[in-house]
Amino acid sequence: MSNLIPNPDGTYTRLIQLPIVPAQPDPSSSTTRVLSKDISLNPKTETNVRLFLPREVLHLPTPKIPIIFYYHGGAFIFLSATSSIFHEFCSTMALQLQVLIVSLEYRLAPEHRLPAAYDDAVDALHWIKTTKEEWIVKFADLSNCFLMGTSSGGNLAYHAGLRACEVSDHLDPLKIKGLILHHPFFGGSERTGSELVMEDDPILPPRVCDAAWKWVLPVGADRDHEYCNPAVSNEFERCVAIREMGCRVLVAGCFGDPLIDRQMQLGKMLEGKGVRTMTHFGNGFHGLEVSDPSKAPALFNVLKNFIYEL
């Protein structure tokens, strides 16, 4: 992949960069409607989380609000929870949905191939149930938690959700009510119809996905590995745990995304396993609502209905 340059120490220089936005944690000095702060998660893995809290929650008489764990996109290789597009997306989402967002800074490939990011996501679930962090203690409703991710983050939300549902007894008092797979990043060795038709897509051409998976999957694995292609793996049988937990799933995507066939197939397979599944597909391209904020309100309305079951 031409956007990665190897360094002598085993790390990589990434040529795809976006502006970084600092957190805004101080309610007395900031004029923003959403406060944010960075908290260390695990010093050994050098992971952390960025919290997003609507300012008005500070003044509510009963301020416990739902939690969304959010996982950013970037093909598991690029970008950050602090990248401008994800910071702004999470800020707006926290305000519009009246939720506390825990945006995970997970380890990236190729320095840390999968399942490192999945491990980090589960690590954060265990962290939140015991942390004394003020915003979590005061404002987070641990009984009303959702896992959400965009693109590779959607893949992460799915796999972290599988793991979490299987060990739910160890996560008490945290209760995961749903998974939100936003433009989830999956693949496979054989092309789908949408991938063939959109072979030269300007946003996410299939050849770029192929190249990314080579850096992301365990060494020696192909694109039909369970992390990449749940449709052909035994791992899909594990989604029964999602059903048994009473956990619901939302799959959202755009018809102009080469991955749309895989996303629609995943929704149908989840339904076939008896999982309460909602889908939301519309016009647009991969990552639409993150890269074009004007398109986000329609998505947030869908998420509000999904989270609060209006």
Catalytic residues: 151, 257, 286
Question: If you write DSSP's letter for every residue of 263-288 in order, what string do you get?
Answer: HHHHHHHHHHTT--EEEEEESS-TTH
Q: How far apart are CA 77 and CA 217, in angstroms?
A: 11
- The rounded distance, in Å, linking the Cα atoms of 219 and 239 is 25
Q: What single string gives the DSSP state of each residue in 190-232?
A: SPPHHHHHTTT-SS--HHHHHHHHHHHSPTT--TTSTTT-GGG
For tokens 């598991």, name the residue.
76
In a 3-state reduction of DSSP, which class is residue 55?
helix
- Rounded alpha-carbon distances, angstroms, from residue 285 to 62, 257, 277, 278: 39, 5, 22, 20
Name the β-bridge partners of 10: none
Say how far apart CA 306 and CA 66 lie, in whole Å.
12
Place of tokens 């060990």: 167
The residues near 6 (Cβ < 8 Å, ≥ 6 apart) are: 12, 13
Which residues make beta-bridge pairs with 251?
Answer: 181, 279
Alpha-carbon Rg for the chain, nearest whole angstrom, is: 18
DSSP E strands, 7-151: 12-14, 34-42, 47-54, 65-71, 100-105, 140-150
Burial of residue 5 (number of CB atoms within 10 Å: 0-12, 13-18, 19+): exposed
Q: Among candidates 84, 69, 79, 73, which has minimal Cα distance to 23?
A: 84
